[in-house]
Amino acid sequence: MEETKPRGKPRGMRRDRDCRACKTRGIKCDLNRPRCQPCVASELPCGGYPQRVVWANKTSPTSVAATTKPKRRKPDTRNVTGRTPAARPAVVAVIADRTAGTHVGPVHEEKQSTTGPDHYSLIKRLSSFCRHIEALAGSSGARRQLSEATMTRLVSRINDLVQARMGTAPMQATVSGTAGPLDYIAALMDLSEALETANPVAFVAIAAFAFFEVCEGAFGEWQRHLYGARSLLDLHCRTTGELEVLARDVTGLSEMVSHLLWFDVMGAIIRGTTGLIFEDWHRETLNAGGFFDIVGCPASTFHVFTNVAVGGVDADPIGSCLMVMDSLLQLEGCDTDVARTADAYRCAAAIAVLARLEDAETRLPPPGMETAMTKAVDRLCHVMEMMPVSSRYYLHLAVAVFLAGMRVTRREQCDIVRRYWQNCRAAEFPRYPDAEMRCEEHWRAIGLL
């Protein structure tokens, strides 16, 4: 749907009928600015009311996004309806900020919105990869693996699914304008056919389905598509050098592999299992593209998570305890989002190690370690209370919050964890539908609810 240039003169500014959170959840908003009653009752960030310019000329569109200066550039029609708040014009951003207030505090402050620019990072990148692959497939010098009819169809289907999931699909993509079960089944059938020929371009489809599984499936049960990704990689590369060569042929491969490696380790931490799908040499490439900067986790802390996931705590409990001490000694403070996020991961790593050292019957840490566990949980909850929902790292902290949620000792800590899951579900791309339920089941079992 193309954005046409407005005619006439602007008549004034108007707010949307519903706040962002109510619109996302599909409920009626009561317009009680700056926070509507449905959001207050649900303890969700309201998100504010988008501003629009109303034009006097009846023949022109009734509203378009406000701009500070008219630009003669041709508008980008690829993603007009799905712009994130970071792409909002400056005037609209200033008005929204004034409506919500400038204080950045606990997660329930209304300024915070879960529609920050990086919360779509992977899925937007997948869409970009698909478009790039489609463009290469249509070129005269396309490689055989890109020119295969099956791959062209698969990449096109995956791009349609991604666009529909982001709410930017063209109206003709499906009858309803959104992807349904039949669209997923068709894409899976095309993926199965592509895997029969071991076409490496199929990796973009595997990455897309893995991402959907992480966001919409059972929390931590992310193995299904990771096994497929590992098998496909094994057919093409067995060393870091071979993987780098393959990455030059397959658009976005390094970035997609990095996310799958992250899902592999973090899924094992959540499940409390030992053993990983990918090998150490795969993880050696993890930060080649600055992946740790994307999720906000220090590389040394990810090493602690990996050590836990491969059974290092059972093999060397003393060394693992030293890792816990090192993590807690590196706590920085809560001055910036980067420092808060790093502290959250360090506390989560300490909790993960101590949880593996617990007595199987009493579920208590070894004598003398209770204080360390309590300190890690307290600090992590404090960090999350201070973390703005608008932070680029906010949605990446699900594993840390889950680990804290399974070790909380006070009801106010339960409230902090609960708000996090509610914010994730109220995001523009809802995530982790069952995580809060799992935490609450544990709280009931230990008498906190």
How do residues 145-170 score in pLDDT, each as one tens digit? 544 666 677 777 877 777 777 664 44
Same domain, 265 and 330: no
pTM higher than 0.95, yes or no? no
Are 347 and 327 spatial neighbours (Cβ–Cβ below 8 Å)? yes
Ranges in the chain, pLDDT < 70: 1-16, 20-21, 23-26, 31-35, 40, 42-121, 123, 127, 134, 136-151, 166-180, 359-366
Question: Are residues 440 and 308 part of one domain?
Answer: yes
Domain, as residue range, for 247: 118-272
CB atoms within 10 A of CB 346: 28
Cα dihedral across residues 201, 295, 404, 100: positive or negative: negative
Residue with tokens 């490689």: 143
Question: How many domains does the chain contain in total?
Answer: 3
For residues 186 and 128, state if they share a domain: yes
Widest pairwise Cα distance in the chain: 76
One domain, residues 310 and 256: no
- 84 and 152 together in one domain: no
Contacts of 323 (CB under 8 A, 6+ apart): 304, 307, 349, 353
Q: Is residue 143 located within the same domain as residue 257?
A: yes
Provide the token pair at 7.
Answer: 């005619």
Residues 250 and 322 in one domain: no
Based on the domain organization, do 264 and 368 belong to the same domain?
Answer: no
In a domain, 113, yes or no: no
83, 124: one domain: no
Counting runs of H as helices and runs of E as strands, what totals does the chain give? 21, 3
For residues 24 and 43, what is the distance between their CA atoms, to the nearest angstrom? 15
Residue 91 lies in a domain: yes
Does 80 share its domain with 126?
no
Residues 361 and 396 both lie in one domain: yes
Any domain includes 149: yes
Selection from 417, 347, 390 nearest residue 101 by Cα: 390
Write the burial class of residue 357 (CB in 10 Å: 0-12 exposed, 13-18 middle, 19+ buried): middle
Domain boundary among 71, 100, 129: 100
What pLDDT sits at residue 186?
79
CB 428 within 8 A of CB 24: yes
